[in-house]
Amino acid sequence: MDLLTPGSGLIFWQLLIFAILLFVLAKFAWKPIIKSLKEREKFIRDSLNSAKKAEEDLININKNSEELLSKARKEREQIIIEAKKLSNLMQDEAKSKSKEMADSIIQDAKKVIETEKQNALKDVKNTVANLSLEIAEKILKKDLESDASQKKYINDLIKEANNFKL
């Protein structure tokens, strides 16, 4: 059983070596280990804070981008509506201008037609008057003795006038 129970000298030396080891570890190893653990803890805490801040920033950026996208959609819709209104306005203006131009052209054409008609009527009247004068002149120049010869001569002149082309 001596093997199982250590002697007092062995216990003393083990305690002394343990105390020296404890002192050396406390002096040289534990302070740097504790310091590095605290630094590691601070680094992890800062990293977590940075991650939370980045997540909040990402959420804010997403909200802002959604707001900007919504604004852009509304502006696009407004621009499309305004463009349609402008297009309709331009079409209406073009229609009214073309109608005015067509009406003006029609009025001018009617005036030209009326002028030409008046000129043609004047020409016809002048021609009829000239023919009437010629017929009257020929009747007066011809010596007409009987009624039958007068009627025959007038009929010949009428036929001649009908053959006359304007």
Domain ranges of the chain: 8-163
Query: Tens digit of pLDDT for each residue in 108-149?
Result: 999 999 999 999 998 888 888 888 878 777 766 666 666 777
Q: Are 154 and 139 in contact (CB under 8 A)?
A: yes
- Who's near 154: CB < 8 A, 6+ residues apart? 139
Task: Spell out the per-residue pLDDT of the chain, length 166, in tens.
Answer: 466 677 788 889 999 999 999 888 888 888 888 888 999 999 999 999 999 999 999 999 999 999 999 999 999 999 999 999 999 999 999 999 999 999 999 999 999 999 999 999 988 888 888 888 787 777 666 666 667 777 787 788 788 777 765 5
